[in-house]
A = this chain, B = another copy of it.
Amino acid sequence: MHEALRAFLADIDELSDTDREAIAPLIQVDEYPQGHLLLQAGEIACRCYHVLRGCVRQYQLIDGKDKTTAFFTEGQTIVSFASYTQQQPVAHYWECLEDCVLIVGDMVQERDAYEQFPQLEVITRRMMAEDFGEMQREMSAFMTASPRDRYLRLLETRPELLQRVPQHQLASFLGVTPESLSRIRRRLRERS
Protein backbone atom coordinates (compact mmCIF):
# COMPACT_ATOMS: atom_id res chain seq x y z
CA MET A 1 0.00 0.00 0.00
CA HIS A 2 1.29 3.50 -0.85
CA GLU A 3 2.50 5.08 2.37
CA ALA A 4 0.52 8.28 1.72
CA LEU A 5 -2.64 6.20 1.21
CA ARG A 6 -1.99 4.39 4.48
CA ALA A 7 -1.83 7.75 6.31
CA PHE A 8 -5.01 8.92 4.54
CA LEU A 9 -6.98 5.79 5.49
CA ALA A 10 -5.67 5.93 9.07
CA ASP A 11 -7.38 9.31 9.41
CA ILE A 12 -10.85 8.01 8.50
CA ASP A 13 -12.43 7.27 11.85
CA GLU A 14 -15.31 5.29 10.43
CA LEU A 15 -12.96 2.48 9.32
CA SER A 16 -11.49 -0.43 11.27
CA ASP A 17 -7.99 -1.67 10.45
CA THR A 18 -9.54 -4.64 8.66
CA ASP A 19 -11.69 -2.25 6.58
CA ARG A 20 -8.57 -0.29 5.64
CA GLU A 21 -6.79 -3.38 4.36
CA ALA A 22 -9.89 -4.34 2.37
CA ILE A 23 -10.39 -0.90 0.85
CA ALA A 24 -6.80 -0.09 -0.09
CA PRO A 25 -6.71 -2.30 -3.23
CA LEU A 26 -9.86 -0.52 -4.52
CA ILE A 27 -8.13 2.86 -4.45
CA GLN A 28 -5.81 4.00 -7.22
CA VAL A 29 -2.88 6.21 -6.23
CA ASP A 30 -0.79 7.94 -8.89
CA GLU A 31 2.20 10.24 -8.84
CA TYR A 32 2.50 13.24 -11.14
CA PRO A 33 5.52 15.49 -11.68
CA GLN A 34 5.50 19.24 -11.12
CA GLY A 35 4.11 21.01 -14.19
CA HIS A 36 1.86 18.12 -15.24
CA LEU A 37 -1.58 19.18 -16.53
CA LEU A 38 -4.28 16.92 -15.09
CA LEU A 39 -6.99 18.69 -17.08
CA GLN A 40 -7.27 21.30 -19.81
CA ALA A 41 -10.04 23.76 -20.69
CA GLY A 42 -12.51 22.22 -23.13
CA GLU A 43 -12.05 18.68 -21.80
CA ILE A 44 -14.52 16.66 -19.74
CA ALA A 45 -13.30 16.24 -16.15
CA CYS A 46 -14.14 12.53 -16.07
CA ARG A 47 -11.67 11.89 -13.26
CA CYS A 48 -11.59 13.24 -9.74
CA TYR A 49 -8.60 13.46 -7.42
CA HIS A 50 -7.81 13.67 -3.75
CA VAL A 51 -4.53 15.26 -2.76
CA LEU A 52 -2.37 13.00 -0.58
CA ARG A 53 0.73 15.09 -1.18
CA GLY A 54 1.44 18.17 -3.29
CA CYS A 55 -0.42 21.18 -4.62
CA VAL A 56 -2.66 21.52 -7.67
CA ARG A 57 -3.66 24.87 -9.09
CA GLN A 58 -6.94 25.55 -10.89
CA TYR A 59 -6.84 28.40 -13.37
CA GLN A 60 -8.63 29.84 -16.37
CA LEU A 61 -7.32 31.72 -19.35
CA ILE A 62 -9.45 34.84 -19.76
CA ASP A 63 -8.60 37.09 -22.70
CA GLY A 64 -5.19 35.44 -22.68
CA LYS A 65 -4.68 36.19 -18.99
CA ASP A 66 -4.03 33.43 -16.48
CA LYS A 67 -6.49 33.69 -13.55
CA THR A 68 -6.09 31.37 -10.54
CA THR A 69 -9.39 30.22 -9.00
CA ALA A 70 -8.24 27.53 -6.54
CA PHE A 71 -5.30 25.81 -4.90
CA PHE A 72 -5.81 22.21 -3.75
CA THR A 73 -3.45 20.84 -1.11
CA GLU A 74 -3.24 17.79 1.20
CA GLY A 75 -6.67 16.53 2.25
CA GLN A 76 -8.63 18.36 -0.45
CA THR A 77 -10.70 16.80 -3.21
CA ILE A 78 -10.46 18.01 -6.79
CA VAL A 79 -13.64 17.49 -8.77
CA SER A 80 -15.69 19.54 -11.21
CA PHE A 81 -19.16 18.25 -10.50
CA ALA A 82 -20.94 19.64 -13.55
CA SER A 83 -18.34 17.94 -15.71
CA TYR A 84 -17.89 14.77 -13.68
CA THR A 85 -21.58 13.96 -13.34
CA GLN A 86 -23.05 15.61 -16.44
CA GLN A 87 -20.15 15.44 -18.91
CA GLN A 88 -19.97 19.16 -19.53
CA PRO A 89 -16.62 20.51 -20.76
CA VAL A 90 -14.71 22.61 -18.24
CA ALA A 91 -13.38 26.15 -18.62
CA HIS A 92 -10.34 25.60 -16.40
CA TYR A 93 -7.00 23.84 -16.12
CA TRP A 94 -5.62 21.72 -13.28
CA GLU A 95 -1.86 22.01 -13.02
CA CYS A 96 0.49 20.25 -10.58
CA LEU A 97 2.43 23.07 -8.91
CA GLU A 98 4.59 20.48 -7.10
CA ASP A 99 5.30 16.77 -7.49
CA CYS A 100 1.96 15.27 -6.47
CA VAL A 101 0.67 12.01 -4.98
CA LEU A 102 -3.05 11.81 -5.73
CA ILE A 103 -5.91 9.39 -5.30
CA VAL A 104 -7.48 9.07 -8.76
CA GLY A 105 -11.05 8.02 -9.40
CA ASP A 106 -13.64 7.95 -12.13
CA MET A 107 -17.36 7.11 -12.20
CA VAL A 108 -16.85 3.43 -13.04
CA GLN A 109 -14.16 2.89 -10.41
CA GLU A 110 -16.29 4.76 -7.90
CA ARG A 111 -19.37 2.65 -8.54
CA ASP A 112 -17.33 -0.57 -8.39
CA ALA A 113 -15.75 0.45 -5.10
CA TYR A 114 -19.16 1.32 -3.59
CA GLU A 115 -20.54 -2.04 -4.66
CA GLN A 116 -17.68 -3.90 -3.04
CA PHE A 117 -17.64 -1.71 0.04
CA PRO A 118 -20.93 0.19 0.57
CA GLN A 119 -19.59 2.02 3.65
CA LEU A 120 -17.27 3.89 1.28
CA GLU A 121 -20.29 5.63 -0.25
CA VAL A 122 -21.41 6.90 3.16
CA ILE A 123 -17.90 8.20 3.84
CA THR A 124 -17.67 9.84 0.42
CA ARG A 125 -21.02 11.54 0.98
CA ARG A 126 -19.87 12.83 4.37
CA MET A 127 -16.68 14.22 2.78
CA MET A 128 -18.67 15.78 -0.06
CA ALA A 129 -20.96 17.56 2.43
CA GLU A 130 -17.87 18.84 4.27
CA ASP A 131 -16.35 20.06 1.01
CA PHE A 132 -19.62 21.72 0.00
CA GLY A 133 -19.76 23.44 3.41
CA GLU A 134 -16.18 24.61 2.99
CA MET A 135 -16.93 25.95 -0.49
CA GLN A 136 -20.01 27.84 0.76
CA ARG A 137 -17.90 29.45 3.46
CA GLU A 138 -15.16 30.33 0.94
CA MET A 139 -17.68 31.80 -1.48
CA SER A 140 -19.31 34.01 1.18
CA ALA A 141 -15.91 35.04 2.52
CA PHE A 142 -14.65 35.97 -0.95
CA MET A 143 -17.82 37.95 -1.71
CA THR A 144 -17.87 39.89 1.53
CA ALA A 145 -14.17 40.54 2.16
CA SER A 146 -11.84 43.25 0.88
CA PRO A 147 -8.59 42.05 -0.76
CA ARG A 148 -6.76 42.85 2.49
CA ASP A 149 -9.21 40.76 4.52
CA ARG A 150 -8.98 37.95 1.98
CA TYR A 151 -5.23 37.94 2.47
CA LEU A 152 -5.58 37.96 6.29
CA ARG A 153 -8.06 35.09 6.08
CA LEU A 154 -5.62 33.08 3.96
CA LEU A 155 -2.85 33.77 6.50
CA GLU A 156 -5.14 32.38 9.18
CA THR A 157 -6.69 29.41 7.38
CA ARG A 158 -3.95 28.25 4.98
CA PRO A 159 -0.67 29.83 6.07
CA GLU A 160 1.41 27.10 4.39
CA LEU A 161 -0.01 28.13 1.01
CA LEU A 162 1.86 31.45 1.17
CA GLN A 163 5.17 29.59 1.23
CA ARG A 164 4.28 27.14 -1.53
CA VAL A 165 2.75 29.34 -4.19
CA PRO A 166 4.28 32.05 -6.42
CA GLN A 167 3.25 35.58 -5.44
CA HIS A 168 1.62 36.44 -8.77
CA GLN A 169 -0.61 33.35 -8.59
CA LEU A 170 -1.52 34.18 -5.00
CA ALA A 171 -2.41 37.73 -6.03
CA SER A 172 -4.57 36.44 -8.87
CA PHE A 173 -6.32 34.04 -6.47
CA LEU A 174 -7.07 36.96 -4.11
CA GLY A 175 -8.40 39.05 -7.00
CA VAL A 176 -5.68 41.73 -6.92
CA THR A 177 -2.62 42.69 -8.93
CA PRO A 178 0.78 41.51 -7.67
CA GLU A 179 1.55 45.19 -6.89
CA SER A 180 -1.55 45.51 -4.70
CA LEU A 181 -0.63 42.31 -2.86
CA SER A 182 2.88 43.67 -2.18
CA ARG A 183 1.33 46.88 -0.87
CA ILE A 184 -1.08 44.97 1.41
CA ARG A 185 1.79 42.89 2.82
CA ARG A 186 4.00 45.96 3.32
CA ARG A 187 1.29 47.85 5.20
CA LEU A 188 0.55 44.87 7.42
CA ARG A 189 4.29 44.54 8.20
CA GLU A 190 4.58 48.23 9.03
CA ARG A 191 1.63 48.01 11.38
CA SER A 192 2.87 44.97 13.31
A80 CB-CB contact with B under 8 Å = yes
**Chain A interface SS verdict (over half):** helix
In this assembly, does A144 line the interface, its C-beta being within 8 Å of a C-beta of chain B?
A: yes
Contact across chains for A67 and B143 when beta carbons are under 8 A apart: yes
* A142 CB-CB contact with B under 8 Å: yes
Residue in B125, B128, B130, B135 whose beta carbon sits within 8 Å of that of A136 in the complex:
B135
- Map CB proximity to B onto A76-89 as digits: 1 under 8 Å, 0 otherwise: 00001111111000
What are 24 of the A-B contact pairs (CB < 8 Å)?
A60-B140, A67-B144, A69-B139, A69-B140, A69-B143, A69-B144, A81-B130, A81-B136, A82-B133, A83-B133, A84-B129, A84-B133, A85-B126, A86-B133, A91-B140, A92-B140, A128-B132, A131-B132, A132-B135, A138-B139, A139-B139, A139-B142, A143-B173, A143-B175
